[in-house]
Structure 1
Amino acid sequence: MLPASISFGEVVHAWDTFKAAGYVVDFVSPDGGDVPILDEYVSEDVASRIEDEEVMRGLRNTAKPEQIDPARYRAVYYVGGSNAIYGVPEHSVLQSIAMHVYERNGGVISAVCHGTAGLVNLKLASGQNLVAGKRISGFPEEHERQDAAYFKEFPFLIRKTVEDRGGVFHALDSEDPYIEIDGRVVTGQNYASAKPVAEAVVDVLRRLTGQQSGRGAVKG
C-alpha cells in the first residue's frame, strides 16, 4: 500500500477564502485525528503555512464523522490529494452528513481536484445520484501518470465514475483554474481551482441566504 496525503494548499486556499468571508471552518476525516500531509503535497506557495497554528490544529485534530452535527453547517468542501480517493467516498456517515447539509439545510456541496471522489457515491433521498445530470469537474484520469504506482492503486477513476453515475464531466487540458457551478454543487478541476471553488461556494451561499456569515465544513 502506498502512502496518501491531503493536498495542503487546497486546504489553505479554501480556508483563507472562507475565513475572509466570515465563515467558521471545521475539519472532519474518516477516522478523525491527524490527517497525513506528505511533503510532496505541500507546494512552495503555502509551505510557510505548515507553521500556521490555527490551520495545523484543525488538521491534527480533525473530528470523527460521528462527532459532527450536520444541522450546524451550510457547506461541505471535499479537499483533494490522493487521500481523498481512499476511505472518503464509501464512508456512510460522511455521506449522511453531506446529504443532510445539501437536502435538509439547503446547503452547498463542493469539491476540488481528487476531492470530487467524495461526491461519486452521494445519493439524494429519492435514491438518485447527486451528480446525475449535473456538470461536474475534478481531476480526470487522463491527466494522471497512468504508469505510476499510485495510479495503479486507485479503486476507481473519477471521470469514468462520475459519468457512470449520470454526471456530465468537464475538464480542460490545462493546469489553469477551472470550475463548474451547477445549482448548489460546486466542483473544481485542479489545485489552481481551490480558491475559485471556495469563492464560488461563498457566492452561492450569499445568494441563498443574503448573509455574509455562517458555518462551513472542510472534509479532508
Structure 2
Amino acid sequence: MLLSRLFRSLPLLLLSACLGCVPDARAAPGIVGPVVVDGLSDAAAQRAGVLPAAHADLRHPAHSDQGRILFVLASSKVHGSSTLPASISFGEVVHAWDTFHAAGYAVDFVSPDGGEVPILDRYVGKDMEPRRKDERIMRGLRHTARPAQIDPSRYRAVYYVGGSNAIYGVPEHPVLQRIAMHVYERNGGVVSAVCHGTAGLVNLKLADGQPLVAGKRITGYPEEHERQDEPYFKQFPFLIRKTVESRGGLFHALDGDQAYIEVDGRVVTGQNYASAKQVAQAVVDILRRQAARPPVRGAKKA
C-alpha cells in the first residue's frame, strides 16, 4: 500500500522539480525586471530624486513625467589648457536640490562628458561636508548623463550650476544648447543659472536667432569680482558680464557676497553661491504659477 502511494505521488514530485528549474520570469527573454542601481531599484532611485543615466534611458519621451529639473554641470577638472584644478560648486547643487526636492520635483544631472564631475574639497564648506554622504545626490554626481542621453521633453526647467569649471565646455556645447532651448521654447519651461553657471546662458539663442539674454535682466559672477591677478583668470575664454552685455543683456550685480537674483520672465539668474536657494525657489514659484493655468506650448519669448 505504501509503495503504491509512492508511485502515485511520483509524477507530482517530478512536476514540482521541473517547475523549480524554470528560470525566474524576470530573466526570461523580453521580460525586464527592476534595474538595480548601487543597491536601489530604479523606482527607489527615482523616489530619491535621481536615477543614474547609466541605468536609465533618458532619451525616451516621458510625457506623464512633468516634474523634473535638469541640472547642467561642467566636466572639466582643470582651468582651460592649464593644470590648475577646477570644480563644480557642490553647495550650489545641494541648496538647489533641497529646494526642488522639497517642492516635489525630481532632479537629473547632465554634463558634457557624462560620468563623475569634479568636486574639490575647498569648494565644500563645513556645513556641506556631511552631504557628501548623501547618496541621493552623490549617486547622480558620479553618474551624470551625457547630453545625447537626455530627452528634453521630460523637463520643466534647466539649472546651470556654477563653480570654477562652469565656463569651460558647457557654454559652447551644441547639444546642451538645444536641450535648454527646447525646455524654454517648446516646453514653456524655465532657464536658470547661478554664479559662474550664467556662462552657460551666453550662447543660447531663440528660434528666431536672437540671444536668449537680449533685453533681459541677468546676473552672475562678474569679472570685477574675480582675482584677476591669479593664473586661473588668464584661462577664461570669455568674461561673463562683458559677454552678456555684448549679447544685449542687461547685466546687474551687487558689491559684496550677499544673495542677489534677477527674474525676467522665465529666465532666473543668481549672482553667487549665496543665491542658489533663492534661484531654485524662484524657479519653483514660476512653475507653480504655470501649474495654476493651462500649460504654455510653443512660447517664442517671455
- TM-score, scaled to structure 1: 0.95
Paired position in structure 2 for 1:218: none
Number of residue pairs aligned between Structure 1 and Structure 2: 211
For residue 169 of structure 1, the aligned residue among 244, 251, 257 is 251
1:1-220 matched pairs, under 5 angstroms: 1=82, 2-210=84-292
**Whole-Å Cα distance in 2 between the matches of residues 19 and 210 of structure 1?**
20
**Whole-Å Cα distance in 1 between the matches of residues 157 and 270 of structure 2?**
15
Higher RCO (CA 8 Å, separation ≥ 6 residues): 1
Give CA deviations for 1:119-157 in whole Å, capped at 9, x if unaligned: 000000000000000000000000000001111111100
Task: Please report how far the alpha carbon of residue 210 of structure 1 lies from its aligned counterpart in structure 2 after TM superposition.
Answer: 2.4
In structure 2, the residue corresponding to 1:76 is in which secondary structure?
A: strand
Letter in 2 for 1:88: V
Q: Which has the larger radius of gyration?
A: 2
In structure 1, the residue corresponding to 2:99 is in which secondary structure?
A: helix
- TM-score, scaled to structure 2: 0.69
Runs of 4+ displaced beyond 2 Å: none
Paired position in structure 1 for 2:78: none
Task: Please report how far the alpha carbon of residue 174 of structure 1 lies from its aligned counterpart in structure 2 after TM superposition.
Answer: 1.4
Task: Please report how far the alpha carbon of residue 45 of structure 1 lies from its aligned counterpart in structure 2 after TM superposition.
Answer: 1.8
Give CA deviations for 1:171-215 in whole Å, capped at 9, x if unaligned: 00010000000000000000000000000000011111229xxxx
Letter in 1 for 2:254: L
Paired position in structure 2 for 1:214: none
Greater mean alpha carbon deviation, residues 1-10 or residues 202-211: 202-211
**Whole-Å Cα distance in 2 between the matches of residues 112 and 68 of structure 1?**
22
Stretches of structure 2 lacking an aligned partner (at least 5 in a row): 1-81, 294-302
Stretches of structure 1 lacking an aligned partner (at least 5 in a row): 212-220
**Whole-Å Cα distance in 2 between the matches of residues 12 and 114 of structure 1?**
16
Letter in 1 for 2:215: G
**Whole-Å Cα distance in 1 between the matches of residues 259 and 290 of structure 2?**
25
Letter in 2 for 1:16: D
**Whole-Å Cα distance in 2 between the matches of residues 133 and 45 of structure 1?**
38
